[in-house]
Amino acid sequence: MSLTDLLRTALRSVSANKLRAALTMLGVIIGVASVIAMLALGNGARAAVNATFQSLGANQIQIGQRFAMEDGKFQPTGKTLTVTDGLDMLSAIPLVERVEMSVSKAVKARFGKNTVEISAIGMTADAIEGLVSSGDIQPVGWESGVPFSTEDLFSDGRFFSTDEVYAGAPVCVLGHQTALDLFSGDNPIGETIWVDRTRCTVVGVITELESTDVQERYRSDPNEGLLMPISAVIQTLYEDEPSVYMVVHVTDANRIDEAREQIANYLRERHQIEQDADGNYLDDFDMLTRNDILGQQQEAARTFSLLLAAMATVSLVVGGIGIMNVMLVSVTERTREIGVRLAVGAKQKDIVSQFLLESILISASGGLAGIVLGILAIPLAAALNQGVALLYPGSIPLAFGVAVLIGIVFGLYPAIRASQLDPIEALRYE
Amino acid sequence: MSDATKEAVLRTEKLTRAYSMGGNIVTALREADLTVHAGEFIALMGASGSGKSTLLNLIGLLDRATAGEYWLEGKPVSSLRRDELADLRGKRIGFIFQNFNLLPRLSAWENVALPLAYRQGEFRGQDQLDRAREALARVQLDHRLDHNPTELSGGERQRVAIARALVTQPAVILADEPTGNLDSKTGIEIMRLLKELNEEGRTIIVVTHDMNVARHASRIYQMRDGVLKESEFADVAH
């Protein structure tokens, strides 16, 4: 029999028992909806990570000193993560492309009679690239989403160079507001200011910036503060060497785990990290990659996803059994019809196709309804999960495929049974 | 041309069908020899349980013999597989049943076209409709193409079933008590139709209790306890 004939037969048979078909579909509908909602949760977690942590590139590893609760206070543990740790890492590990480092210290800056209390941020020359590419800030009035270069960041002067970082040169770059506060509108370039008890020459002024996140604008002002070579900050502003925060760029994002392992071993050796009884290293530093953040986010979505997965599995199996049951009933009810079809020349595969197509029609219709229900349920799933859920486009063909598969798997046995009926007994069936 | 020189449409030789029932072997048909030539009208008579349905099922390729051989249009069928039997049955046998056996959800023409629908790729949709209309015209029902069986009278239903048996131009039409579910007037109309079809050259085998039906036959066979015997009309009538 041609496929169109078969489809017409299946459609008629299903529509002759609409209520029965609809009830049979319920399991598949719920199962498919669960699949859609489940994948939306995972996808939402991923999207949230991508949006929030764009600043951490796929080839980047954040490294900071480990903090732990000690004597009721949150304190750094072990040895300090130093600038030299970072600089030497560059030559020790070929996979490391560059190391951005920064420290931050509250200081008093003074020029003439003007004094401000601000943060002095010590950083490497590379780190400005990280600031530019982070997407966290932009020049005021800049069209959001449009990339800008390091030059666009400066209203006057320049950023300090890598040589100046190595030399610990006493130079600084002022934030827009800080420049105004100290110089009252005069040109600060080339002037010398006091930062705590150290002198430093102003080489650049950053243009007026705003946070790209509107809510963030009320919390901190990116225009207050000054930037200095990290070495200069550490040499002149600290009595003890402070711990730095690093962003390591790896040459190949695909080998980030390998680089991470090498960096860990490098730091363990330098800091003489010991192992506990179980052979675990008692690291005094923490490393974070985009995958770690993703993992944390997904961990939250996972419990709920598991619940949905269990619900999907149970619903689909129960739905499948329901379909099998209805198809067995249908085969029994239509024994005589099968006999007539066999008498006029139907082959076994014709009968199998007829009933299989009917069960696929039921399960696929359930699948379509389930997809609609699932999409409608996404906001609900997000609310219950206190998280983000975003329709994963691939889940639609996947869910539909699962529904069709259920129809095939659970329809096969009734269909084969129908095709094996004895034509004489089938014709005689009352 | 005499019957003997015509090619036999079907021939059986010592055709036997035995069943195993609760450990006992029941022989429903015992070494039946039957030769039917093209254009014959055969009546098969006998009490219920005498084995006439068993013989009809074997001739109709719905069942397999346990012994003996059966040639349909010169071709031995005992070694054919299930699907080969189905194929041959669909193409060369036309069935008419006592209870019509029309599919309730199909229209008259779709019921008639059903045997064509199972012949993969041979008949397209329009082809099927044309042939079904032609067959329905032969039974004077071409004005009821789109009616469902439930909208037709008993006589009309049986005529649709006859059209279904005609549509494939089969080698033989097998009618099992075709008037059994009809009132006598309608029964006579149906028998007249079968007689006409026979006069047009169709080979027909009718299983019946009805003397009036047997009267139309060119030859009469009687079944008793699984044994087939050719009879004269006069023998049967008394």
A425: which chain B residues are within 8 Å (Cβ-Cβ)? Answer: none
> Alpha-carbon distance A383 to A395, whole Å?
20
**CA-based nearest residue in chain B for residue A337:** B103
B103: which chain A residues are within 8 Å (Cβ-Cβ)? Answer: 337, 340-341
pLDDT on residue B201:
92
Put simply, whether A13 touches B (Cβ < 8 Å) is: yes
Q: pLDDT for B80-130, tens place per residue?
A: 999 999 999 999 999 999 999 999 999 999 999 999 999 877 888 889 999
> Alpha-carbon distance B68 to B83, whole Å?
21
Put simply, whether A348 touches B (Cβ < 8 Å) is: yes
pLDDT on residue B125:
82
B62 and A347 within 8 Å at the Cβ level: the answer is: no
More confident residue, A377 or A162: A377
Residue A69 in this model has a pLDDT that exceeds 90? no
What's the mean per-residue pLDDT of chain B? Answer: 90
Contacts of A248 (CB under 8 A, 6+ apart): A60, A61, A62, A63, A86, A89, A96, A98, A99, A100, A259, A263
Put simply, whether A307 touches B (Cβ < 8 Å) is: no
pLDDT on residue A101:
85
B91: which chain A residues are within 8 Å (Cβ-Cβ)? Answer: 345
CB A282 within 8 A of CB A274: yes
CB A246 within 8 A of CB A101: yes
More confident residue, A97 or B237: A97
3-state SS, residue B180: coil
B119: which chain A residues are within 8 Å (Cβ-Cβ)? Answer: 345
Confidence of residue A134 (pLDDT cuts 50, 70, 90): low
Task: Name the residue among A5, A347, A424 with its Cβ closest to that of B86.
Answer: A347
More confident residue, A369 or A166: A369
pLDDT on residue A62:
87
Q: Record the tokens describing residue A368, joined without a space.
A: 């379509």
**Range A315-332 average pLDDT:** 93
Which ranges in A245-287 belong to alpha helices (H)?
256-270
- The domain defined by B38-64+81-237 folds into Rossmann fold (3.40.50)
pLDDT on residue B236:
67
> Alpha-carbon distance B73 to B8, whole Å?
7
A342 CA: distance to closest CA in chain B (Å): 7
A344 and B87 within 8 Å at the Cβ level: the answer is: no
Q: How far apart are the first and last CA of chain A?
A: 26
Residue B3 in this model has a pLDDT that exceeds 50? no
Q: Where are the domains of chain B?
A: 38-64+81-237
B86 and A2 within 8 Å at the Cβ level: the answer is: no
Confidence of residue B5 (pLDDT cuts 50, 70, 90): very low
User: Best of A14, A338, A344, A352 to disrupt the B interface by mutation (most B CBs within 10 Å)?
Assistant: A344
Task: Name the residue among A5, A344, A348 with its Cβ closest to that of B82.
Answer: A348
B101 and A340 within 8 Å at the Cβ level: the answer is: yes
**CA-based nearest residue in chain A for residue B104:** A337
Q: Give the ipTM of the model, two decimals please.
A: 0.93
> Alpha-carbon distance B134 to B115, whole Å?
14
Q: pLDDT for B37-66, tens place per residue?
A: 999 999 999 888 889 989 999 999 999 999
pLDDT on residue B238:
54
pLDDT on residue B237:
64
Contacts of A79 (CB under 8 A, 6+ apart): A271, A272, A284
**CA-based nearest residue in chain A for residue B89:** A345
What's the mean per-residue pLDDT of chain A? Answer: 86
pLDDT on residue B2:
44
Q: pLDDT for A21-33, tens place per residue?
A: 999 999 899 999 9
Task: Name the residue among B57, B91, B118 with its Cβ closest to that of A350.
Answer: B118
A5: which chain B residues are within 8 Å (Cβ-Cβ)? Answer: 117
A positions 179-238 inside 8 Å of B (CB): none
A340: which chain B residues are within 8 Å (Cβ-Cβ)? Answer: 101-103, 114
**CA-based nearest residue in chain A for residue B128:** A5
A342: which chain B residues are within 8 Å (Cβ-Cβ)? Answer: 62, 86
Task: Name the residue among B63, B90, B121 with its Cβ closest to that of A345.
Answer: B90
Put simply, whether A340 touches B (Cβ < 8 Å) is: yes
B90 and A344 within 8 Å at the Cβ level: the answer is: yes
Of A38, A42, A34, whose CA–CA distance to A367 is shortest? Answer: A34
Q: How many CB atoms are closer than 10 A to CB B226?
A: 22
Residue A414 in this model has a pLDDT that exceeds 50? yes
Put simply, whether A19 touches B (Cβ < 8 Å) is: no
Confidence of residue A297 (pLDDT cuts 50, 70, 90): low
Task: Name the residue among B82, B89, B105 with its Cβ closest to that of A345.
Answer: B89
Task: Name the residue among A336, A342, A424 with its Cβ closest to that of B86.
Answer: A342
Percentage of residues of chain B with pLDDT beyond 70 = 96
A427 and B62 within 8 Å at the Cβ level: the answer is: yes
Put simply, whether A429 touches B (Cβ < 8 Å) is: no
**CA-based nearest residue in chain B for residue A349:** B83
CB B57 within 8 A of CB B174: no
Contacts of B230 (CB under 8 A, 6+ apart): B219, B220, B221, B222
The continuous run of DSSP H or E covering A212 comes out as none
A339: which chain B residues are within 8 Å (Cβ-Cβ)? Answer: 101
3-state SS, residue A225: coil
Amino acid at A38: M
Q: pLDDT for A174-227, tens place per residue?
A: 999 999 999 988 899 999 999 988 899 999 998 888 877 655 555 567 788 899
**What is the CA angle A200-A203-A208, rounded to 5?**
110
Residue B4 in this model has a pLDDT that exceeds 50? no
B115 and A5 within 8 Å at the Cβ level: the answer is: no
pLDDT on residue B208:
87
Put simply, whether A277 touches B (Cβ < 8 Å) is: no
CB pairs under 8 A between A and B: 62
Alpha carbon B98 to chain centroid, angstroms? 11
Q: pLDDT for A232-267, tens place per residue?
A: 888 888 888 888 888 898 988 888 889 999 999 999
CB A250 within 8 A of CB A256: yes
A377 CA: distance to closest CA in chain B (Å): 38
Confidence of residue B1 (pLDDT cuts 50, 70, 90): very low
**CA-based nearest residue in chain A for residue B118:** A1
A28 CA: distance to closest CA in chain B (Å): 27
B86: which chain A residues are within 8 Å (Cβ-Cβ)? Answer: 342, 345-348
B228 — phi, psi (to 5°)? -95, 135
Task: Name the residue among A336, A339, A344 with its Cβ closest to that of B118.
Answer: A344
More confident residue, B180 or A414: A414
